Chain A
């Protein structure tokens, strides 16, 4: 068990895979076994270890690590690159020639550790040599890839990048990304392979031509020797793959280079949207007395759009259908609104106490036009959605003790003795979780666009083929006083989801 942890103190790792041009901006990630072993060899020869250990010891270490393919534990990283013009060391037109260079690198956290693990055993001497070499290793890959490496007693992380031909994790079923890494062949295979090549190319002849001599020079006797050959010599000899190396397919996690989502900054808890507001445009705008009709066609438009954007699925919150039995008015109220007080509807407030789902909001957002059978045709603009506090422009979203009718209130149950308007209102408020009114008084007329209207001036019937029981066909305007503050919007009684029985908070005038 030999596990090495690499850290990149600069947070960057630059290395170009074998056979790829630097300007392809490809990063060899993870660092191939071949690269790691060559880095150890270079450290040995370049940092004065020759005087402390015999070279044979190093060769034995390298061969021990070539016996097995390591596994990796990759930390989160992302791929990035910078570009610059690099001087070429030759003159062109009297100036130094430059060439555009792509400098690709993997960017990772300076604390993150890449763990490479070989399941081989080393002698104590080899271990201490490896430990020393890792301490002196200054960079891995390009010189900008500063590295700090150390030997681990035991890796405590499970590997997430292994040699395998299967691009799927057999345990989790997760898709993996294959990546080709250069690794040494086993030392036992190297000797026979070398003799084969020497014989096949006639390199054992007495006299060799120059190209043959180059090939022979790049074919040392041992695998450790092969790892020492300079890249320039390999290219000159024409090797497409360094002698003693093989490509091994490793499987790394699919999102190796995806930024890990940052911990969310503490934001205020988002509460679900309950309210959306639509603006109407057109001449003439519909009259407030037709509130119930406008409300009905708004609902139909919302259902139609929901079908289109949600592939046929209609959110129950918009239609009010197929709701659980205990749903007490949690679905959408379509409340036509005369915000400027001219007697014409200029907005529609859609309010669902149970919350508007994203698909419901998407459907409302798509409504661009309302029309009716009498030739009315209006353009619709989605003003926005949010909480009651977030859509505070609406006249229905006030707070207060005293509430006045905007559209007629029709009591929902049949009136009986001791079950008149006041009692029915009290029951409704109880069932909705509102405080019971202290006082309910009937107001004969309300002001609509500067005119005094009685309830009969308003349209008070649903345009449905279903025979709906309608205990009250006349309606009343009311002033309700609550014992405590009540928040809008408030719509009660028959047809309260269709624009009847809308109330508006006013100043307490009593």
Chain B
């Protein structure tokens, strides 16, 4: 069944909310660092406390991770053929790719190594922007050509050689997860060493007491925002627009179906998906999106939107 996107034609943005709940039990572990703790803050209406379960940055990485097949070190099936940059070491083994890197094309493994293939390519593509306003359409066109995924998630090419470090493309697809009215569920225990309870803990011996804070919440919601006006403003033609929107919907659907094991102690499931803007649009099921994508990728390649070969190789040497 073809994916219908007519309802999005004139909408400036697509807003989606998904109600989540822990798949087992009621506790979950939010994002946080051992020395920083979780991101808790009071709710604006004074009703309890809110908790940032997953930040926008982290969600961007997750929406990319669900597109990647670690076993085959390539895109998942329906996305085969999308351009990206692959970084290999001098033995030809894959180190990382622009899809897996936190900063995408701005990864130091792509731009800071001795192999300046991508840097030079970007310099050529984006020449003439040292002065005046950055041409965002040109930047988007280059991104779709080299690393299509970055056109959705945005990129900040903070290199002086590239338009004075001013090349920024804001996220067209952004998301975060928040929980309301949270309460801390503190627990803890002791790693027991029956042989030498007071052994040297720095070497792994001895009893080690530990504490952990998990959370419970009556509602956990994932919010997704797709900036359709931004995608249309790239002016890359209908093939590219359809591809980018369908790719974004695929990411959201696939994340909600396969990517909700955020951490060992934070395994969630989606209970309900709501489109809040525009009215009358329904997110197509994952099977339809999977069926549609290969055709859209080939159509985009057909109108010359992609680099050939699709995968740009870079060898990283310090």
Contacts and interface: CB of A to CB of B under 8 A. Distances in A.
Interface stretch (B81-89, B170-178, B182-190, B193-201): B170-178
B44 A11 contact: yes
A138 interface: yes
Interface residues of A, number: 44
B176 A78 contact: no
A47 interface: yes
Contacts of A420: none
B45 A109 contact: yes
Contacts of A467: none
Contacts of B158: 89
A444 interface: no
Interface in A136-154: 136, 138-139, 143-144, 146, 148
Interface stretch (B100-108, B204-212, B283-291, B292-300): B100-108
B44 A77 contact: yes
A84 B46 contact: no
Contacts of B50: 80, 107
Interface string A232-264: 100000000000000000000000000111100
A266 interface: no
Given A10-B176, A84-B55, A260 B108 contact: no
Nearest to B154: A143
Given A48-B232, A138-B13, A232-B164, A87 B102 contact: yes
Contact of B52 (A78, A82, A138): A82
B233 interface: yes
B4 interface: no
Contact of B232 (A47, A100, A103): A47
A251 to B, nearest CB: 21
A2 to B, nearest CB: 20
A393 B161 CA distance: 82
A46 interface: yes
B102 A76 contact: no
Contacts of B276: 9
B107 to A, nearest CB: 7
Contacts of A260: 44-46
Interface string B213-245: 000000000010101011011010000000000
Interface string A402-419: 000000000000000000
A46 B133 CA distance: 10
A47 B230 contact: yes
Given A78-B42, A107-B50, A146-B225, A46 B56 contact: no
B15 interface: yes
B12 A228 contact: no
Contacts of A261: 46
B136 interface: yes
Nearest to A109: B44
A145 to B, nearest CB: 10
A89 B41 contact: no
A136 B106 contact: no
Contact of B45 (A76, A87, A91, A232): A76
Contacts of A108: 44
A135 interface: yes
Interface in B110-165: 112, 131, 133-134, 136, 154, 158, 164-165
Interface in B40-76: 41-47, 50, 52, 55-57
A136 B102 contact: no
Contacts of A46: 136, 230, 233
B36 interface: yes
A86 B158 CA distance: 14
A78 B174 contact: no
A138 B112 contact: no
A313 interface: no
Interface string B245-280: 000000000000000000000000000000011000
B44 A76 contact: yes
A459 B164 CA distance: 98
B140 to A, nearest CB: 10
B166 interface: yes
B235 A48 contact: yes
Contacts of A48: 232-233, 235
B39 interface: yes
A47 B137 CA distance: 9
Contacts of A82: 39, 41, 52, 55
A138 B229 contact: yes
Contacts of A217: 131
A491 to B, nearest CB: 45
A136 B171 CA distance: 14
Interface in A261-296: 261-262
A76 B178 CA distance: 19
A414 B50 CA distance: 70
Contacts of B176: 10, 144
B169 to A, nearest CB: 9
Contact of A10 (B164, B166, B223): B223
| Residue with the greatest number of chain A CB neighbours at <10 A, chosen from B45, B46, B178, B232 | B45
B139 to A, nearest CB: 10
A230 interface: yes
Nearest to B134: A230
A417 B174 CA distance: 95
A226 to B, nearest CB: 13
Contact of B166 (A9, A107, A139, A232): A232
Interface in A47-96: 47-48, 76-78, 80-87, 89-91, 96
A201 interface: no
Nearest to B231: A47
A328 interface: no
A135 B228 CA distance: 11
A103 B176 CA distance: 14
A148 to B, nearest CB: 8
B46 A96 contact: no
B164 A47 contact: no
A86 B108 contact: no
B278 to A, nearest CB: 11
Contacts of B136: 45-46
Nearest to B276: A9
A509 B106 CA distance: 93
B133 A10 contact: no
Interface in A109-155: 109, 112, 135-136, 138-139, 143-144, 146, 148
Interface of B: 12-13, 15, 31, 33, 36, 39, 41-47, 50, 52, 55-57, 102-103, 106-108, 112, 131, 133-134, 136, 154, 158, 164-166, 170-171, 174, 176, 178, 223, 225, 227, 229-230, 232-233, 235, 276-277, 318
Interface of A: 9-11, 45-48, 76-78, 80-87, 89-91, 96, 100, 103, 107-109, 112, 135-136, 138-139, 143-144, 146, 148, 217, 228, 230, 232, 259-262
9 closest A-B pairs (Cβ-Cβ)? A80-B41, A82-B39, A259-B46, A47-B233, A136-B229, A48-B233, A262-B46, A262-B47, A138-B227
16 contacts: A11-B178, A46-B233, A78-B44, A80-B41, A84-B31, A89-B106, A89-B107, A100-B36, A112-B44, A138-B227, A139-B170, A148-B13, A232-B164, A259-B46, A262-B45, A262-B47
Given A82-B52, A83-B33, A262-B46, 18 more contacts: A47-B230, A47-B233, A76-B44, A82-B41, A83-B39, A84-B33, A90-B108, A91-B112, A100-B36, A108-B44, A109-B45, A138-B13, A138-B225, A146-B225, A232-B166, A259-B43, A260-B45, A262-B45
